[in-house]
Chains A and B, each alone.
Chain A
Amino acid sequence: MTVTAPRGSQRKDAPAAAAVVKTGTSEIRELFTRNLRTSGIYIALVAIVALFAGLTGGASLGPGNITNIVLQYSYILILAIGMVIVIIAGHIDLSVGSVVALTGAVSAVVVIQYGQPWWVGVLAALATGLAIGAWHGYWVAYVGIPAFIVTLAGMLLFRGLTLVVLDNVSLSPFPADYGQIASGFLNGLLGGAGYDVFTLLIFAVAVIGYAFNQYRTRKTLISYNQLVPSFPLFIAKILVVAIAVMVFAWQLAIARGMPLVLIMLAILIMVYSVIMQRSVFGRQVYAIGGNVVAAALSGVKVRTVNFWIFVNMGFLSAVAGIVFSSRSNGAQPGAGNMFELDAIAAAFIGGAAVTGGVGKVVGAMAGGLIMAVMSNGMQLMGIDQSVQSVVKGLVLMLAVAFDIYNKRRAGSR
């Protein structure tokens, strides 16, 4: 008697009637309460976008500003991708701000001081990031020092090394091609009068892909007798998302076109979402965060997985470092200060659990965007830096409190 299901045999499609499909207002209420934890974050994002659109008289949704948000917060979102993985595994990384500074500095030295082409700078920065990740991974995974301590030490260590590399001064400016990484646009590839057709096309393809993917997921859920929203509600949800995305695309299209950074970010989000949801590695990360002993006794090579989680964080920190140095057109000793806290906040606002085992890449992106829209909106309104900081702190607090409240209410027997 083994439980190995016959491979290759066609999964019989359960009759649709077997699936639990509810309708009516009770469904909407049910959908809200049941999914508050997972969809709450997206609802919050929409609410905050709407709030600041109102407060700024629509300025925050203007074409120029939307493009600005993308450029300004891309590196935080890149960091948040790595951070949410670290947090799901039950660790933390306090060093990413310093790593952003150091990798940017290395790149600047190579390109500006030694006059190398832009891609040599990029490779040098990535190599530095990977090496730093391996350093952290070694101490966390193989020596067994808590990541909090290792990366706290790393935060000091790599900030210090940044000062050494830069010899305590800022380096600038980069040659123009290096600047393209963070400020480049794809525009006019397919023409268009006053708007970029290419941008709209890319987003349209993305929306169709999203709708198709959602439809497939829904079909799978139904075949496994899972609770799914009724069909009209399902269509409504996709329409709302599609309209929001296309409005966003339109604003980009009438501004400067498709930012290169956005393409890179989209690819990173997609790749890492698939890794976390579908790959063996991703599943092992969740398993370690959920119960490390059970994972080890199931054959997960806990040390190896932990090591690569930090190597990956180092890699993404380097990517963020490159984007940031490109955007600020130089390297400063104080670059990336407090970035780690923004990245950590994004992950937690996005639904990651402090105890590990829970979290999603897209959740962290929504969390990061909430922070981004808030900061940007408050800047537009000319609100003082001090007040901004207070508001951001409170939002982080409330987001996690809301999460915990929901978990308690969901209750376990």
Chain B
Amino acid sequence: MADHILEMQSITKTFPGVKALSGVSLEVERGEVHAICGENGAGKSTLMKVLSGVYPAGSYGGDILFKGQTCSFSGIRDSEHAGIVIIHQELALVPHLSIAENIFLGNERRGASGLIDWHKTNAEAAELLASVGLREEPTTPVGQLGVGKQQLVEIAKALSKEVQLLILDEPTAALNDNDSAHLLDLVRALRDRGITSIIISHKLNEIEAIADHTTVIRDGKTVETLDMADPDVNVDRIIRGMVGRDLEAFYPDRESNPGEVVLRVEDWTVKHPNQDRLVVDGASFEVRAGEVIGIAGLMGAGRTELMMSLFGRSYGKFVSGKIFMHGKEIHTRSVASAIEARIAYATEDRKAFGLNLIDDIARNISAASLGKLASWGFVNHHEEARAAEFAMKSMNIKAPNVKSIVGKLSGGNQQKVVLSKWLLTDPEVLILDEPTRGIDVGAKYEIYTLINSFVDAGKAVVVISSDLLELLGTCDRIYALSAGRITGQLPKAEASEERLMTLMTKEKELTA
């Protein structure tokens, strides 16, 4: 019999009105990397919160055995004491404190006097940093590090607590390929040191590359645990478990027949809001009716900045440039006027910029269309509720009703609320910034389908994505952006990851 460091036996957890977990079982072997997959809302995060004591013993059903002992954690401190450390998707570091201070936060290294021993703190931190392969001074403020390095600090912090079971929730969601690869190498190195890891991820390629076993969860239940050494187990096999069916194709087919030009942007140039440098430099592009175009670019290329500045000058300082809708120049100096010109922009960070998380579905969906839903300055509640109900049905938003609070929905459903909000404004050009970031395979497919039906109705779509495969799968044409300049465009037939990457990394001098 395998040596199980962790056994979770038929865990159930109910929230008012929702059964989040109904009998999840999980067995993790000592010293392995165990992946957990499932669609958003399947119950992965809830399961991990049960395990780490965020939901204290007694608030859920079932048993947790850690190293053969039944556990009843009443909080994170208990689980950390036992050697279980969870690193959340949203990092929990204090930006103004140094790396060393963050690592030992709540666990300070004290001298004989009871005061903090800074030499010991920094020396130990330096050791920990070396063990995670981060070459930074322990005294550097965390806020000066990139997300990838912050992730490493979190792991160093976990190591300082003598972690035996490390839980990583979407560790690479915000990382670029390089940082992701480094992080996965580190997880392998930790495995060699005998530290067991549980990884939750939507990036199935990574899971295939790193996991020893994968447990698939669907609708609050364990579906199966796959042995990744089995040659029959691959990404498609995992997807089948997650959605309970084969996705014929990852990207739904669409017949492309672009019409006349809807939106044309000429020589768009924007300055950084408080630095004297150009973030967008003479960008020109166009999108036709019934067409999806993509904007490819590395982090910091100015993709989001370009689109936000087009959308009512929401970013930076306007320098020059013209926008044409159907060949007529428009002047959109505010978001309201951009919406009126029938442009819609769904932000990349739906939680921070796209939604009012403490408000309900109906009010979020109507937020950009209040003018249309109101007469004499007063909102017509019936119209609003009807529009929201219509959106919930047509978008397949899973929630009890239109008065449900948006903050409690899963990522995929939140994204559908964002899309509903913009579709309600009846746009001709829909700009989608990272439309599928952090949402699961099934919801991604639904969103691609929505994009397709939108362009089939003769509208135009602009997609920004860090996922080149997503751009290749959904777009008719792809523009590449590098350092604020459009460095080229490729029609679907000619585009490939390699050719896009070449354009995306093209230096300024070469294009001159």
Q: A226-B403, A298-B367 are in contact. Are A412 and B379 (CB under 8 A)?
A: no
Chain B residues near A412: list those with CB within 8 A: 405, 407-408
Q: Which of B314, B334, B356 contacts A291 (CB 8 A)?
A: B356
Interface locus among B111-119, B235-243, B449-457: B449-457
Q: Assess whether B358 is interfacial by the CB under 8 Å rule.
A: yes
Out of A7, A34, A290, name the residue touching B359 (CB < 8 Å): A290
Residues of B within 8 A of A307 (CB): none
Binary CB contact string for chain B from 435 to 460 against chain A (1 if under 8 A, 0 otherwise): 00000000000000010011011000
Measured CB to CB, the closest approach of chain B to A132, in angstroms, equals 25
Mark contacts of B476-502 with chain A using CB atoms, 8 A cut-off: 1 yes-contact digit, 0 otherwise: 000000000000000000000000000
Tell me how far the C-beta of A407 lies from the nearest C-beta in chain B, rounded to whole angstroms. 10
Which stretch (A39-47, A141-149, A274-282) binds chain B? A274-282
A108 to B368, CA, bound (A): 46
In contact, B335 and A296 (Cβ under 8 angstroms): yes
Verify A3–B420 contact, CB threshold 8 A.
Answer: yes
Asked if A2 CB lies within 8 Å of chain B CBs, one says yes
Q: Which residues of B contact A286 (CB under 8 A)?
A: 356, 359, 363
For A295, the chain B residues whose CB sits under 8 A away are 356, 367
Contacts of B368 in A (CB 8 A): 298-299
Which of A280, A291, A298, A300 has most B Cβ within 10 Å? Answer: A298
Asked if B46 CB lies within 8 Å of chain A CBs, one says: yes
B357 and A301 contact, CB distance less than 8 A: no
For the complex formed, measure the closest distance between the CB of A264 and the CB atoms of chain B, giving whole angstroms: 23
A386 CA to B493 CA, complexed, in Å: 81
Contact of B186 with A by CB under 8 A: no
Asked if B345 CB lies within 8 Å of chain A CBs, one says yes
The answer to the question of A29 belonging to the interface, with a C-beta cut-off of 8 Å to chain B, is no
* Interface hub of B338, B359, B408 (most chain A Cβ within 10 A): B359
Number of interchain pairs (Cβ within 8 Å): 131
| Beta-carbon contact of B377 and A411 below 8 Å | no
In whole angstroms, how far apart are the Cα atoms of A3 and B395 in the complex?
9
A283–B338 Cα distance when bound, in Å, is 20
In the bound complex, CA of A208 to CA of B65 (Å): 61
- Please determine whether B358 and A299 come into contact, CB atoms closer than 8 angstroms: no
Which of B126-134, B141-149, B380-388 lies at the interface? B380-388
A298 touching B424 in the complex, CB below 8 Å, given contacts A278-B381, A357-B358: no
CB-based contact B453/A1 at 8 Å: yes
Q: Does A224 contact B (CB under 8 A)?
A: yes
From known contacts A2-B423, A225-B401, A296-B314, infer whether A301 and B334 are also in contact, taking CB-CB under 8 Å: yes
Among A3, A34, A287, A295, chain B packs the most CB atoms within 10 A around the CB of A3
Contact in complex: B358, A294 (CB < 8 Å): no
* A408 at the B interface (CB under 8 A): no
Taking a contact as CB atoms under 8 Å apart, the answer to whether B356 and A294 are in contact is yes
B108 — which chain A residues lie within 8 A by C-beta? none
Q: Judge whether A283 and B407 touch: CB under 8 Å.
A: no
- Across the interface, name the chain B residue whose C-beta is closest to A33: B16
**Minimal beta-carbon separation of B396 from chain A (angstroms):** 12
* Residues of chain A contacted by B454 (CB below 8 angstroms): 1
On whether A294 and B379 interact (CB within 8 A), knowing A1-B450, A224-B385, the answer reads no
Among B85-93, B346-354, B465-473, the one that faces the other chain is B346-354
**Chain B contacts with A in 368-411, Cβ cutoff 8 A:** 368, 370-371, 374, 377-379, 381-383, 385-387, 389-391, 394-395, 400-403, 405, 407-408
Residue A394 at the chain B interface, CB threshold 8 Å: no
Does the CB pair A297–B347 fall under 8 Å? yes
A279 touches B395 (CB 8 A): no
CB <8 Å contact, A11 and B353: no
Within 235-256 of A, Cβ neighbours of B (below 8 Å) are at none
Whether, in the assembled complex, A50 has its beta carbon less than 8 Å from a beta carbon of chain B, the answer is no
Residue A99 CB within 8 A of the other chain = no
Picked from A4, A280, A290, A410, the residue with its CB within 8 Å of the CB of B424 is: A4
Residues of A within 8 A of B15 (CB): 411, 413
Min distance, Cβ A281 to any Cβ of chain B, angstroms: 7
Q: Are A293 and B353 CB-contacts (below 8 A) given A226-B401, A280-B370, A358-B358?
A: yes
CB–CB A224/B402 < 8 A: yes
Smallest beta-carbon distance A350→chain B, Å: 17
Say if the beta carbon of B6 comes within 8 Å of chain A: no
Q: For residues 317 through 369 of chain A, which have their beta carbon under 8 Å from a beta carbon of chain B?
A: 357-358
Contact A4 B426 (CB under 8 A): yes
Q: How far is the CA of A11 from the CA of B387 in the complex (A)?
A: 11
A280 / chain B contacts, CB cutoff of 8 Å: 370-371, 374, 377-379
- A284 at the A/B interface (Cβ < 8 Å)? yes
Most-contacted residue by chain B among A280, A293, A296 (CB, 10 A): A280
A390 in the interface (beta carbon within 8 A)? no
> Nearest chain-B residue to A358 (Cβ)?
B358
- Say whether, besides A3-B387, A224-B403, A11 and B356 are in contact (CB < 8 Å): no
Q: In the complex, are the beta carbons of B378 and A279 less than 8 A apart?
A: yes
Q: Is the CB of B46 within 8 A of A413?
A: yes
CA distance A290 to B406 in the complex (A): 12
Is B339 among interface residues, defined by CB-CB distance under 8 A? yes
Check B357–A290 contact: CB distance below 8 A: yes
Residues 404-429 of B, flagged 1 when their CB comes within 8 A of A and 0 if not, give 01011000000000001101101000
A5 within 8 A of B: yes
CA distance A274 to B456 in the complex (A): 42
Are A357's CB and B359's CB within 8 A? yes
Indicate if the CB atoms of B394 and A278 lie closer than 8 Å.
no
Residues of A within 8 A of B16 (CB): 34, 410
Which single member of B353, B363, B382, B424 contacts A3 (CB below 8 Å)? B424
- Contact between A3 and B453 (Cβ–Cβ < 8 Å)? no
Task: State the Cβ distance, A293 to closest chain B Cβ, in Å.
Answer: 5
* Contact status of A4 and B387, CB under 8 A, knowing A298-B367, A299-B368: yes
The residues of B with any CB-CB pair to A shorter than 8 Å are 15-16, 20, 45-46, 311-312, 314, 334-336, 338-339, 345, 347, 352-359, 363, 365-368, 370-371, 374, 377-379, 381-383, 385-387, 389-391, 394-395, 400-403, 405, 407-408, 420-421, 423-424, 426, 450, 453-454, 456-457
Other 7 A-B pairs with CB < 8 A, given A1-B453, A357-B356: A3-B387, A220-B382, A280-B370, A281-B377, A286-B356, A294-B352, A412-B405
Residue pairs across A and B with Cβ atoms less than 8 A apart, 30 shown, are A1-B456, A1-B457, A2-B424, A3-B387, A4-B426, A5-B383, A11-B382, A11-B385, A224-B401, A224-B403, A274-B378, A278-B379, A280-B374, A280-B379, A283-B363, A283-B366, A283-B367, A286-B359, A287-B356, A287-B363, A291-B355, A293-B352, A294-B352, A294-B355, A295-B367, A297-B314, A298-B421, A301-B334, A358-B358, A411-B15
Contacts from A to B (Cβ < 8 Å) = 1-5, 7, 9, 11, 34, 220, 224-226, 274, 278-281, 283-284, 286-287, 290-291, 293-301, 357-358, 410-413
